[in-house]
Amino acid sequence: MSKTVSVIDDEASVREAVAMLLETHGMTVNAYESAVAFLAAPFAAGCIVSDVRMPEISGLDLLRTLQSSDDSRPLILMTGHGDVELAVQAIKLGAFDFVEKPFSNDRLVGSVEQALVASESSLKVRLELEDLKAKLASLSERQRDTMQLLIRGLSNKEIGQQLGISPRTVEIHRTWVMTKMSARSIADLVRMGMALGIE
């Protein structure tokens, strides 16, 4: 499992304490003094722990930036006790969690561990979708038409009528679709269609 945690805090003492805590739990940590520095750094799969109040780009602004760039890494926000309203707003915006300062070590470590598990599964989903898109792109136009009609539950005969080809030709296209998409069954193909947004 990828265990890179990006820690962002403009206070060096907090940044170092959080980094040390997570490293003692076997996690790889990249620490940044600002969201600007974090965004300029190479992408590291895992999760992000960020302070809410920071100069230039706040934790909430960082969350919005990640969402607009389709970055699905879970973001945990560290907040002062006066920032609960901000924290609730962050959760509504899609933050993974918020941890109030001063926090217990177990609370933060537990939240980060959950975020890493979530990150792993969302990365897996993303890779599977990219793989499906590549498989779909390998189909010819006629094979794609056949797949669409198969997903709608049409028989070979009905597909042939729709596309103006013989049932035998439909059978050939169908075989190619199943092979290229690595689908074991029509149910499999339907699930793939749903993931790809094919009606």
7-34 tens-digit pLDDT = 999 999 999 999 999 999 999 999 999 9
What is the model's pLDDT at position 84?
Answer: 67
- Mean pLDDT for 123-144 is 90
Residue that the structure tokens 């993303």 belong to: 126
Alpha carbon separation from 6 to 19, 118, 139, 174, 176 (Å, rounded)? 9, 15, 40, 46, 44
Nearest in space to 9 (alpha carbons), one of 43, 59, 45, 46: 59
CA angle 76, 19, 7 (to 5 degrees): 40
pTM of the model: 0.67
Distance CA 49, CA 111 (A): 10
- The per-type count for the chain, helices as H runs and strands as E runs, is 9, 5
Q: Is 138 exposed, middle or buried (0-12, 13-18, 19+ CB in 10 A)?
A: exposed
Distance CA 199, CA 196 (A): 9
pLDDT tens-place string over residues 55-91: 899 999 999 999 998 888 999 999 876 666 777 788 8
Q: Output 168 or 100, whichever has higher pLDDT.
A: 168
Q: Output 131 or 3, whichever has higher pLDDT.
A: 131
What is the model's pLDDT at position 17?
Answer: 95
Q: Is 89 exposed, middle or buried (0-12, 13-18, 19+ CB in 10 A)?
A: middle
